[in-house]
Structures are given as structure tokens and as C-alpha cells.
Amino acid sequence: QIRVFTSDVCLLHAPTYEFHSGAENHYHESPDRLTAIAKWLESRPEKRFVLSKDIVDHGMTPIQKIHKPDFLEYLQTIYDEWVQEGGHPHGVAPATVPHQRLARLGKGKPQTAAAKSGEYCFDLSAVIMKETWRASYESAQVTLTAAGELKRLADQLQGQNTTTDHPPAVYALCRPPGHHAQTDLCGGYCFLNNVAIATQWLIDQPQKDGRPSRVAIVDVDFHHGNGTQEIFYSVKNPLYTSLHSEKGYPFFTGSKEEQGEGEGLGFNINVPLPKSTNNDEYMAALQKVIDDHVRPSAPDYVIVSLGVDTFQEDPIAGFQMTSDAYPRIGAAIRSIGVPTLFVQEGGYCVEKIGQNVGGVLEGFGG
């Protein structure tokens, strides 16, 4: 059995449109994604998945450890300010962004909602609506609740002093996703970096001998997790590893050369892959990351940024990968042999998202 945490509050963030290549399109990061995954998991035989909506409120402290105070204030207050200022009620979208070649010309601090809208985002996709803060806060709390449950299960296992080839796993079925959100920037459908928040929370839970827990992040979303990379770039705990499209969004990050800095040097591992990547090629790359980096880092916990937008039928992304790949990804992660937290990131083929996410979880085994 795999425990799943989710919440209906995550459904409240629901922009109706976004721009793709300059054209108006429906908002791909929709509440239907979450509903479709829940429905698929609940339809499995033998109650393989246990869904819980009992979310523990961990408060603002774990979020404040990752994101800057002015950014958190912005996310909570900007919508009302925006509408009062005459902004379109659909949601906050930037007028200008302080591109580095613009920002260096001036010293002005953003005063109006229109100005702030650019200060705190790096693209047009992170539309802030009335309920966006509530949904994002809940998304982080779902992830923290799942992390808490994983810690409980891991502690229980340790207490029994038995070895097992069957590490516990917990899945946070949440949205909006998080891995593009930087310390004070939203973008890529992300507002709060759920994985980063849960990672730091788990690190701060000491092991029995009193040392901080060691975490390894495996980001299997099609897109590079620029947010998670930035947040942990100069620390050695966690290890951040990512497999992603070499030429895709977010375009400016994700190269092999980005390896961390200071004591974090060597603890940021990017594996860019071509769009043509198929199941076998992907699995070879994932296995290499696990063998060369994840297992040698001796983690107490593995956290998976679980995007299934690597799927060949994904409407905005996708390698040449079929649904058969996902149980293999789950099995490879299980072979690390460590308690694992799965956190939902991208995946936009709503028709197959349940099967693909569920495939990873079933491949890990309950």
C-alpha cells in the first residue's frame, strides 16, 4: 500500500487561459489533472492506494525557510491590489519584467501592482488569481504532511531494527506544482517550491544520532527544476539531480556545467537529454544518475519531483516515452532502497496522467 495525501483546496487555483507561442490556449496546469490522478488511483484493485485528505497545517515557518518574505507577502496580497488598479480579473500577469539589461539602467523599486507583477515572476504562466495563494499554501502543506508521514514510517521501521528491501513511500498529490519556483520568483505554473520546502523540513528532522537528515532529490519532470537548483545551489545537502529536455523550457538553466558552488559544488547534477529520448535511453540515464550520484550520497530520504510530462503524448512537452516507462522509473527509484517521497510536478496529458503517475508508484511497489 502507498499512502497518498491530497486536498480539494488545491483545485481552487484555476486560470482559464495561458499563452503558447503567443497564442491563447487553455491553461494546461488544470485542476482536472489532480482529479484524474485521484480517480485512477482510487480505481485500482485491492485498495493499493490509500487516499487521505487529512492535511496537517505546518504553518508558515517551513515556507519562510525557502522563500523571501517580500515574495510571500506579494503572493498573498497582489491579486486585490491588481484588480483595484484596473488589472484584468482573470489574474496577475506581468507588464514588464526587470530583464537584467533593463534593471541595470535604473534603481527604481516597483511601486504599483503592474510593476510588482514583473518583479516576482519570470514568465507569463504563473497567473495569480484570487485563490492562488490558498491553493499554493495548501499544495505545500499537502507535501509537508506527506513528508511527515514518511518520516513516521521511516522511524517506525528503524525502531523495529529490521532490514527491508521494501522502503516506505508516500505520494503528495498536489498542485500547483513547485520545481520552477525560485526563492522570490514564480513561473512555469509554480508559486511555492513544494519539494524544496519538504526537503528542508526533512533535513531539519535529525536522525537518531542527532545529525541532520540527508536528502537526495531526483527530478524526473521533462523540464529543468530551475527553482530547486537555485535554492540549494550552494549547499551539499540536499543533492539535486535532474533529467530534462536539453533545449526545452525554461531554456536558460539545466546545463551539465551547472554543478553547484562553494560547498555545494558537485551536488547539483543536470542531465540534459534530447527530445528523441525513448524509454530505454531514459532508463539508462536515470540508472546512471542513481548509481553515480544518488546512492553514493547515502541519503536518508529520496524526494522525487514527479513530472510525467516526459510522455510522448504530452501536449506541451514530451520525450518519445510510452506508458511502459513509468513502472520502470518507479522500480529504479525503489532500488535505491531508501524511504521515498513522491511529489507531483508536471504532466499535461490528462487522459493518461493517472496511468503514468500510478505506474511510477506501482513500479515502486507498496
Contact positions vs ligand SP5 (CB under 6 A) = 20-21, 125, 177, 180, 188-190, 221, 223, 249, 307, 309, 316, 345-346
Q: How far is CA 256 from the centre of its chain?
A: 20
- Distance, CA of 129 to CA of 93 (rounded, Å): 10
In the list 223, 328, 334, 352, the residue contacting Zn ion (rule: CB under 5 A) is 223
Nearer CB in complex with ligand SP5: 137/222: 222
Q: Which of residues 294-313 bind Zn ion (CB under 5 A)?
A: 307, 309
- Distance, CA of 267 to CA of 245 (rounded, Å): 20
Nearer CB in complex with ligand SP5: 113/325: 325
Nearer CB in complex with ligand SP5: 62/177: 177
Q: Is residue 176 near Zn ion by the rule CB under 5 A?
A: no
- The burial class, CB within 10 Å (0-12 / 13-18 / 19+), for 259 is middle
When CB distances are held under 5 to 8 angstroms depending on the partner's kind, the choice from Zn ion, ligand SP5, none that residue 20 binds is ligand SP5
When CB distances are held under 5 to 8 angstroms depending on the partner's kind, the choice from Zn ion, ligand SP5, none that residue 125 binds is ligand SP5
Catalytic residue among 58, 180, 224, 293: 180
Nearer CB in complex with Zn ion: 142/317: 317
User: Is 223 among the residues known to form the active site?
Assistant: no
Helix (H, G, I), strand (E, B) or coil at 359: helix
- The burial class, CB within 10 Å (0-12 / 13-18 / 19+), for 312 is middle
Q: Which of residues 319-358 bind Zn ion (CB under 5 A)?
A: 346
Identity (one letter) of the amino acid at 215? V
For residue 238, cis peptide bond before it (omega within 30 degrees of 0): yes
Is the separation of the CB atoms in 141 and 58 below 8 Å? Answer: yes
How many C-beta neighbours within 10 Å does residue 83 have? 15
- Closest residue to Zn ion, judged by C-beta, is 346
Count residues binding Zn ion (CB under 5 A): 6
- Closest residue to ligand SP5, judged by C-beta, is 346
3-state secondary structure 13-34: CCCCEEEECCEEEECCCCHHHH
CA quadruple 5, 8, 12, 17: dihedral sign: positive
Nearer CB in complex with Zn ion: 254/307: 307
Q: Is residue 179 near Zn ion by the rule CB under 5 A?
A: no
Q: Report the catalytic residues.
A: 180
Binding region for Zn ion (CB under 5 A): 221-223, 307, 309, 346
